[in-house]
Amino acid sequence: METMGVREYLRPQMDQVEAFIQASLVSDISLLDAVNRQLREHPGKMLRPILTLLCAGALGKINEDTIRYAAAAELLHNSTLLHDDVVDGATERRGLPTVASLLGGPAAVLIGDFWLTKCMDAILGASTESARVLRIFARTLGFLAEGELLQMQKARKGDTCQEDYVRIIYCKTASLFETSAMSGALSVRATEGQVKAVGEFARLLGIAFQIKDDIFDYSDAEDSIGKPVGIDLLEQKITQPLLCALDAVSESEADAVREKMVKVAGNPALASEIHAFVLAHDGVQKAEAKMQQYLSDAAACLEILPESAEKNYLKEVARFVGKRSY
């Protein structure tokens, strides 16, 4: 992972976050405890707690409450992944079978709920701005549900527009990036202007992150990115590459493609047609350009922060999001 520099810089704090998460998830129910330990063996990129720690470090001194909020962000993120796999019927996550595929949807939902309660416990145990941080996390949880439901609604009609898409990916992805950054700033009692600045940085970063993820769905490099490709199309999700391609054609041609999207579920041949349409109209390249603009706007939000190693690493995280290959 290209963020090894920041991981090494934050190693002591990241170890504290991981230890806090591990301790939070211990249960005397052997099945739950075993699943929790197995899930933590493959923690993923840990970008959300990294954002919490960097934003706190850029504006003050990382403390116990920073660790709690960083852990809460990761706990909520993984809770939503467990739920998402049930909603999406996903059989694989991070190259491994999902909990839902191994134990069934009900077990995955309950384990996700357990992680969610531990997220709330982590926040409630803090002494710095805990009530405000809890409200921010609660708001984000609402956004996550709304984003999923809006995406379902739009998938059935095939009428997702650019505004819908940005709202969906803000709700499903960027809102938790934003919350991670803001909670880090609040943990060190940053000024309102600073809290707002890092929140906006993280919001734009999260939107760019999801656009990159959606670009991967049009990739031929499934092995290198560690996830199945072409799934978004089969699930009738109109994402940035397709929206960019639709903008390049007449209204009648765009309508015809949208009609195909309504019928694409479970139809790989139709999905291949739409995939070819996107490539033929430079949808991927145009989506990359939009992503880079979001990253540029995100970097500009950091200008009001004092110079520090953490500020430089926040910029490095933004570069990683733009260049990552998985």
Each residue's pLDDT tens digit, 112-145:
999 999 999 999 999 999 999 999 999 999 999 9
Each residue's pLDDT tens digit, 175-204:
999 999 999 999 999 999 999 999 999 999
Q: 4: pLDDT confidence band, cut at 50, 70 and 90?
A: low
Express as a percent the part of the chain with pLDDT over 70: 96
Angle between the 175-187 and 64-88 helix axes, to the nearest 10 degrees?
170
Encoding tokens for residue 125?
Answer: 């145990």
**Structural domain boundaries enclosing 15:** 4-323
Mean pLDDT, range 7-21, rounded to an integer: 96
Encoding tokens for residue 61?
Answer: 């001194």
Model-level pTM?
A: 0.93
Q: Which residues contact 305 (CB under 8 A, 6 or more apart)?
A: 58, 59, 194, 197, 198, 311, 314
For residue 97, list its beta bridge partners.
Answer: 92
Each residue's pLDDT tens digit, 238-260:
999 999 999 999 999 999 999 99
CATH of residue 122: 1.10.600.10
Each residue's pLDDT tens digit, 272-286:
999 999 999 999 999
Domain count across the chain: 1
Each residue's pLDDT tens digit, 41-55:
888 889 999 999 999
